[in-house]
């Protein structure tokens, strides 16, 4: 019998990390751990870190500093660091924070239960390998617990694109696609447990090329079409995509696969060809715009989302204006924007940097434009009838809230359980959500 112990996981960064944390919690369940909501109660603290933002490692070191007293009060407390900072920093983490017992990179999570058993006391355990095997296949099977109506499912990891600003190819490694059969099995299991909407995850998800049951490589579109055959699964989404991997069959799927939702996150990063080239994006402003046109031909009401970087090295005011013009031309329903910040080891880190004040001003201007577009896209839903998947009770008594097909938050007065898929007529548009009535 393993004794019951308590695990606290703090997750930073992207949805892939959220998924990874779920899987790690389940795997450590096999070592006798149950998840708890605060570090004070925990017998083990695991930070699942992200390296994409500025000063990521420094933030983790200061977070770890906060656990010093906990560790002093409870010497058996195990502290682990996972995720992309673990991959990037490796043993350096233990040199700087000797109270850390375990460091595990994203490709080694299936080894975590065995590492946990060894770690503690004087035993420090590090694994930042890139092993060949599919870690998800080796993580312990989930208990048959009920799930909420939405879930993430990682289908692909890593990236071979090497954008000049990005650490992902270094921290997550080369691109690997999971075999289709494993994904289908996991999807069926999730649906059996109450999931109605799946978001397929990958750093470069539309480059998916996993082995199909027929022995051939499947595209993401093929995988989506097969997933769409699962009874009880109502909605499919995927993120994040690269423009160059937006294949014809995936575009077509947006037009003819009912379960594939009309929302696409397709980062362009910049609207200037000069900067795109220096970013090593291998697409142009024009090829991106033509691609958007084709996607909209297939699915006219699709809501587009993007990522933008301002102040990339050598970005002039003209380059920045090109980005604003591109945003005007596309019309985004949602976007994420960032000031460029250096990542040691990436090519752009070595180049002449744009002044901070200039970056600030550009970010503000870009975000104001995006906010206007976002609001316009949301307001345009008023009067329309949309599908809504109910996720939880709303803020007001008698209300429920969920997401529309276009991923807008929608609330309504109705007596419905999470998982209900309903048609709703939108009546008004607020700051961050829509209000509607059941039809």
Q: Which residues bind ligand 5AD (CB under 6 A)?
A: 52, 165-166, 267, 269, 307, 309, 338, 340-341, 343
Q: How far is CA 107 from CA 125, 153, 267, 316, 383, in A?
A: 15, 16, 25, 39, 47
Q: Residue 218 gets which letter from DSSP?
A: P
Q: Does 335 bind ligand SF4 (CB under 6 A)?
A: no
User: Of 406, 400, 407, 405, which is closest to residue 436 (Cα–Cα)?
Assistant: 400
Closest of 303, 305, 151 to residue 235, by C-alpha: 151
Which of 16, 28, 47, 159 lies at the binding interface for ligand SF4 (CB under 6 A)?
Answer: 159
Contacts of 146 (CB under 8 A, 6+ apart): 193, 194
Distance between CA atoms of residues 290 and 303, nearest Å = 16
348 contributes a contact to ligand SF4 by CB under 6 A: no
Residue from 125, 166, 183, 275 in contact with ligand SF4 (CB under 6 A) = 166
Partner from ligand 5AD, ligand SF4, none contacting 340, C-beta within 5 to 8 A by type: ligand 5AD
According to CB under 6 A, which one of 15, 162, 184, 193 is a site residue for ligand SF4? 162
Q: Which of 335, 311, 337 is nearest to 263 (CA)?
A: 335
Using Cβ positions, the residue closest to ligand 5AD within the complex turns out to be 307
321 near ligand SF4 (CB under 6 A): no
Which C-beta is closer to ligand 5AD: that of 115 or that of 159?
A: 159
Shortest spacing between CB 240 and ligand SF4, in angstroms? 7
> Which range binds ligand SF4 by CB under 6 A, 20-28, 164-172, 184-192, 221-229?
164-172
Say how far apart CA 190 and CA 259 lie, in whole Å: 16
Q: Which of 380, 417, 381, 412 is nearest to 396 (CA)?
A: 412
CB of 130 to ligand SF4, least distance (A): 16
Q: Are 22 and 145 in contact (CB under 8 A)?
A: no
- Residues in 238-257 at the binding interface with ligand SF4, rule: CB under 6 A: 242
170 binds ligand SF4 (CB under 6 A): no
243 three-state secondary structure = helix
Q: How far apart are CA 432 and CA 367, in angstroms?
A: 15
Q: Which does 408 bind (CB under 5 to 8 A by kind): ligand 5AD, ligand SF4, none?
A: none
Cβ 101 vs Cβ 120: under 8 Å: yes
Q: What is the rounded CA–CA span in Å between residue 197 and residue 206?
A: 18
Q: Which does 343 bind (CB under 5 to 8 A by kind): ligand 5AD, ligand SF4, none?
A: ligand 5AD
Answer yes or no whether residue 115 interacts with ligand SF4 by CB under 6 A: no
* Residue 202 interacts with ligand SF4 (CB under 6 A): yes or no: no
Candidates 161, 188, 193, 321; binder of ligand SF4 (CB under 6 A) is 161
Stretch touching ligand SF4 by CB under 6 A, among 22-30, 166-174, 212-220, 404-412: 166-174
Residue 163 binds ligand SF4 (CB under 6 A): yes
Q: What are 337's strand-pairing partners?
A: 308
CB of 317 to ligand SF4, least distance (A): 24
Chosen from ligand SF4, ligand 5AD, none, partner binding at 242 (C-beta under 5 to 8 Å by type) = ligand SF4
How far apart CA 158 and CA 194 sit, in angstroms, is 29
Q: Is 419 an interacting residue with respect to ligand SF4 (CB under 6 A)?
A: no
Which residues neighbour 389 within 8 Å (Cβ) at sequence distance 6 or greater?
A: 149, 150, 196, 197, 234, 235, 402, 403, 419, 420, 421
Identity of the residue, 168 or 388, whose beta carbon is nearer to ligand SF4 in the bound complex? 168
The two tokens of residue 176 are 């690997």
Q: Does 204 bind ligand SF4 (CB under 6 A)?
A: yes
Q: In the complex, which residues of this chain contact ligand SF4 (CB under 6 A)?
A: 159, 161-163, 166, 168-169, 203-204, 242
């Amino acid at each position: 019998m393993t004794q019951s112990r308590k695990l606290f996981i703090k997750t930073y960064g992207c949805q892939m990390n959220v998924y990874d944390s779920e899987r790690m919690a389940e795997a450590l369940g096999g070592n006798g751990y149950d998840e708890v909501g605060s570090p004070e109660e925990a017998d083990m603290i695991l930070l699942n870190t992200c390296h994409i933002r500025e000063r990521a490692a420094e933030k983790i070191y200061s977070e770890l500093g906060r656990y010093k007293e906990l560790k002093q009060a409870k010497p058996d407390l195990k502290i682990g660091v996972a995720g992309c900072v673990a991959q990037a920093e490796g043993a350096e983490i233990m040199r700087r924070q000797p109270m850390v017992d375990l460091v595990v990179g994203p490709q080694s999570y299936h080894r975590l239960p065995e590492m946990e058993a060894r770690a503690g006391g004087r035993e420090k355990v590090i694994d930042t390998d890139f092993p060949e095997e599919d870690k998800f296949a080796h993580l312990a099977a989930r208990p048959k617990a009920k799930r909420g109506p939405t879930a993430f499912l990682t289908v692909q990891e890593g990236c071979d694109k090497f954008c000049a600003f990005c650490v992902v190819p270094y921290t997550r490694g080369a691109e690997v696609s999971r075999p289709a059969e494993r994904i289908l099995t996991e999807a069926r299991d999730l649906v059996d447990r109450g999931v109605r909407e799946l978001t397929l995850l990958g750093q470069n998800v539309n480059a998916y090329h996993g082995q199909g049951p027929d022995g051939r490589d499947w595209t993401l579109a093929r995988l989506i079409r097969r997933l769409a055959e699962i009874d009880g699964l109502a909605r499919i989404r995927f993120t994040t995509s690269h423009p160059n991997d937006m294949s014809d069959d995936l575009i077509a799927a947006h037009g003819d696969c009912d379960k594939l939702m009309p929302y696409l996150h397709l980062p362009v990063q910049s609207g200037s060809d000069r900067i795109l080239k220096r970013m090593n994006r291998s697409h142009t402003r024009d090829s991106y715009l033509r691609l958007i046109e084709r996607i909209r031909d297939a699915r006219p009401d699709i809501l587009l989302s993007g990522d933008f970087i301002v102040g990339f090295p050598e970005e002039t005011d003209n380059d920045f204006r090109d980005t604003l013009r591109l945003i005007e031309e596309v019309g985004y329903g949602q976007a994420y924007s960032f000031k460029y910040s250096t990542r040691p080891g990436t090519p752009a880190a070595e180049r002449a940097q744009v002044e901070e004040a200039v970056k600030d001003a550009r970010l503000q201007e870009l975000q104001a434009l995006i906010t206007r577009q976002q609001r316009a896209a949301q307001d345009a839903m008023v009067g329309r009838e949309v599908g809504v998947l109910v996720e939880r009770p709303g803020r007001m008594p008698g209300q429920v809230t969920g997401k529309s097909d276009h991923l807008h938050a929608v609330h309504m007065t109705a007596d419905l359980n999470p998982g209900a898929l309903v048609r709703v007529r939108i009546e008004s548009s607020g700051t961050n959500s829509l209000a509607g009535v059941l039809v």
